[in-house]
């Protein structure tokens, strides 16, 4: 059973009592829970469609003083209020109004969906956990009062928003994650940054998924590049764990002249297109400071273009409160003039599908193609990757023949496409879905934990 009720507190009552609407009073409830805190309470029926608890019960449950509509779940003799969703991150500052520096505004927006979805999300880092008392001194956000720190029990679920791979690999981070999952049976969703090569190798094992994959290999020798240049005319070299288009190089081969060209950005961010008589010379000049064992080689695709500029697409998928994948947003990214990538930081431009395709029929056709590919790949990746995935950002391309290609899948997708004014509603949808999936997992962990912890 999952419903939402208004939660109110009776002041100056020093016993453990709870007043329940008639539909909840039918259940043999003897305990009330918030997060992992459980207290026995006397449950009494009343004729109002809200839950009323005593001040003492609220205080000892560490339930924030927030009159709000929250979900309730019932399992056996216990009523669970919440859910309490912990958002794990790092990089906290000492500034109360900007607890996460430049990322504060994103998290404020993420937490502000609490009233819409009926949950209590909060931020925490490993330094905020009191293991002895079983409490977390977490950051809550309210649009009227701003940020405040409140002690709450361990949450029903944890949403992973760690900012980078370095933090994720720390031993203390891994120990925290293992302890919460193993000792407290708290589901942890969206763990881990994807490795480009790992994702491609896993998808290549699935017949239906391999159709979307350009040839992709870890760099091992010039001979792989020579063969791929012969087959495709151009290839991309990119860092296996890179992001934001940093370190991406396009290598082209002119069969008529026999020259090699490399398009990239130098360390100062300047656009470069350089010409070389041989591949060996190109590598000595361009890649002399790079660790080639960390690079991957990918087939070049002849992408569709708008006004001579390449176009690819970002598709965000999220799991919803029923545990099913949804398309949260689709946008086109048009590359800057003479650029090897479409990233915004390199002069790329975000456009809606309606702005890219002139006819309704055309943009609906490609919306359907991109949506079908992203939903299918989401379902496949879910079976191929460890942990509970709740969102993915796909970078997809469409070639001149209308075929869809997968370039990257991101477990922590950037949000630059949402700066487009016509994508604001989709930005809100993606935030809502991120928390709504946490509600779904909380209910599973309470009522059917065997489905999550096998």
20-37 pLDDT per residue, tens: 999 999 999 999 999 999
Integer-rounded Cα radius of gyration of the chain: 25
User: CB within 8 A of 308, min separation 6: which ones?
Assistant: 337
Single residue among 82, 113, 135 that ends a domain in this structure: 82
At 176 the pLDDT is 95
What domain range is 165 assigned to? 85-186
Q: Tell me, yes or no, whether 237 lies in a domain.
A: yes
Q: Tell me, yes or no, whether 454 lies in a domain.
A: no
How far apart CA 253 and CA 234 sit, in angstroms, is 6
> Which of 50-54, 80-84, 281-285, 290-294 is least confident?
290-294
- 210 φ, ψ to 5°? -65, -20
Q: Tell me, yes or no, whether 451 lies in a domain.
A: no
In DSSP notation, 152-182 reads: EEPPSEEEE----HHHHH-HHHHHHHHHHHH
Domain co-membership, 307 together with 382: yes
Query: Which residue in this structure is represented by tokens 């922590």?
Result: 412
Residues in the chain, how many?
A: 454
Question: Cα 252–257–263 angle (5° rounding)?
Answer: 25
At 67 the pLDDT is 63
Give pTM, 2 decimals.
0.93
Single residue among 268, 284, 299 that ends a domain in this structure: 299
At 340 the pLDDT is 65
Domain co-membership, 114 together with 74: no
Q: Tell me, yes or no, whether 447 lies in a domain.
A: no
Domain co-membership, 226 together with 173: no
Single residue among 299, 317, 343 that ends a domain in this structure: 299
Total domains in the chain come to: 4
Query: Which residue in this structure is represented by tokens 């120990």?
Result: 175
How far apart CA 454 and CA 447 sit, in angstroms, is 14
For 272-298, what is the mean pLDDT? 88
How far apart CA 48 and CA 196 sit, in angstroms, is 54
Of 276, 373, 262, the C-alpha closest to 327 is: 373
Query: How many CA atoms are closer than 13 Å to the CA of 220, on its beta-carbon side?
Result: 6
Which burial class, exposed, middle or buried, applies to 440 when counting CB atoms under 10 A from its CB (0-12, 13-18, 19+)? Answer: buried
Q: Tell me, yes or no, whether 264 lies in a domain.
A: yes
C-beta separation of 294 from 216 below 8 A: no
Domain co-membership, 37 together with 181: no
How far apart CA 246 and CA 237 sit, in angstroms, is 11
Domain co-membership, 110 together with 221: no
pLDDT above 90 (res 345): no
Q: Tell me, yes or no, whether 448 lies in a domain.
A: no
C-beta separation of 196 from 408 below 8 A: yes
Band of pLDDT at residue 306, cut at 50, 70 and 90: confident
How far apart CA 248 and CA 240 sit, in angstroms, is 10
C-beta separation of 203 from 385 below 8 A: no
At 404 the pLDDT is 97
Q: What is the pLDDT of residues 51-78, one digit of tens each?
A: 999 999 999 999 998 667 999 999 999 9
Q: What is the CATH number of the domain that holds 113?
A: 3.40.50
Domain co-membership, 182 together with 239: no
Domain co-membership, 309 together with 407: yes
Domain co-membership, 309 together with 371: yes
Q: What is the mean pLDDT of the chain?
A: 92
C-beta separation of 380 from 204 below 8 A: no
For 273-282, what is the mean pLDDT? 93
Domain co-membership, 329 together with 408: yes
**CA dihedral sign, ordered 166, 169, 170, 176:** positive
How far apart CA 41 and CA 180 sit, in angstroms, is 27
pLDDT above 70 (res 312): yes
Domain co-membership, 422 together with 344: yes
User: CB within 8 A of 102, min separation 6: which ones?
Assistant: none
At 308 the pLDDT is 84
For 137, the 3-state DSSP assignment is strand
Q: What is the CATH number of the domain that holds 372?
A: 3.30.470.20
pLDDT above 70 (res 47): yes
Q: What is the CATH number of the domain that holds 65?
A: 2.40.40
Other Cβ atoms less than 10 A from the Cβ of 448: the count is 11
Q: Tell me, yes or no, whether 345 lies in a domain.
A: yes
Percentage of the chain modeled with pLDDT above 90:
76
> Which of 122-136, 170-184, 276-290, 320-334 is least confident?
276-290
Report how far apart the first and last C-alpha atoms of the chain are (Å, whole number): 23
Band of pLDDT at residue 268, cut at 50, 70 and 90: confident
Higher per-residue pLDDT: 362 or 65: 362
Band of pLDDT at residue 454, cut at 50, 70 and 90: low
At 338 the pLDDT is 65
How far apart CA 162 and CA 140 sit, in angstroms, is 17
Domain co-membership, 178 together with 206: no
At 272 the pLDDT is 86
How far apart CA 305 and CA 271 sit, in angstroms, is 20
Domain co-membership, 200 together with 266: no
pLDDT above 90 (res 135): yes
Q: Tell me, yes or no, whether 178 lies in a domain.
A: yes
In DSSP notation, 239-299 reads: ETT--TTTT-EEEEEETTTTEEEEEEE-TT--EEEEEESSHHHHHHHHSTTS-GGGEEEEE
């Amino acid at each position: 059973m999952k419903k939402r009720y208004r939660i109110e507190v009776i002041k100056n009552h020093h016993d453990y009592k709870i007043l329940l609407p008639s539909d909840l009073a039918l259940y043999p409830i003897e305990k009330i829970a918030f997060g992992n805190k459980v207290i026995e309470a006397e449950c009494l029926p009343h004729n109002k469609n809200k839950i009323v608890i005593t001040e003492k019960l609220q205080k000892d449950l560490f339930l924030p003083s927030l009159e709000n509509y929250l979900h309730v779940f019932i399992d056996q003799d216990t009523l669970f209020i919440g859910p309490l969703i912990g958002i794990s991150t790092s990089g906290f500052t000492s500034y109360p109004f900007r607890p996460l520096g430049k990322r504060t505004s994103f998290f404020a927006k993420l937490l502000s969906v609490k009233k819409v979805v009926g949950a209590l999300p909060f931020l925490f880092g490993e330094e905020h956990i009191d293991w002895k008392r079983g409490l977390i001194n977490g950051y809550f956000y309210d649009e009227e009062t701003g940020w405040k720190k409140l002690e709450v029990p361990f949450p029903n679920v944890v949403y992973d928003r760690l900012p980078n791979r370095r933090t994720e690999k720390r031993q203390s981070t891994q120990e925290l994650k293992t302890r919460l999952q193993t000792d407290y049976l708290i589901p942890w969703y969206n763990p881990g940054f994807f490795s480009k090569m790992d994702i491609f190798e896993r998808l290549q094992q699935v017949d239906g998924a391999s159709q979307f994959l350009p040839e992709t290999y870890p760099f091992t020798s010039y001979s792989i590049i020579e063969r791929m240049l012969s087959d495709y005319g151009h290839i991309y070299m990119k860092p296996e764990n890179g992001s934001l288009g940093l370190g991406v190089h396009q290598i082209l081969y002119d069969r008529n002249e026999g020259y090699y060209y490399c398009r990239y950005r130098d360390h100062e961010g300047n656009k470069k297109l350089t010409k070389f008589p041989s591949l060996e010379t190109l590598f000595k000049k361009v890649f002399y400071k790079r660790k080639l064992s960390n690079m991957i080689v990918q087939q070049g695709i002849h992408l569709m273009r708008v006004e001579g500029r390449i176009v690819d697409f970002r598709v965000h998928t999220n799991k919803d409160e029923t545990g099913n994948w949804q398309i949260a947003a689709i946008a086109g990214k048009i590359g800057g003039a003479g650029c090897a990538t479409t990233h915004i930081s390199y002069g790329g431009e975000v456009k809606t599908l309606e702005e890219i395709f002139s006819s309704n029929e055309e943009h609906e056709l490609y919306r359907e193609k991109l949506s079908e590919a992203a939903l299918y790949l989401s379902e496949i990746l879910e079976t191929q990757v460890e942990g509970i995935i709740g969102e993915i950002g796909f970078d997809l391309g469409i070639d001149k023949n209308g075929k869809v290609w997968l370039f990257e899948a991101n477990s922590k997708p950037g949000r630059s496409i949402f700066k487009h004014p016509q994508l604001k509603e989709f930005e809100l949808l993606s935030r809502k879905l991120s928390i709504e999936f946490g509600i779904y997992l909380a209910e599973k962990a309470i009522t059917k934990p065997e489905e999550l912890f096998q």
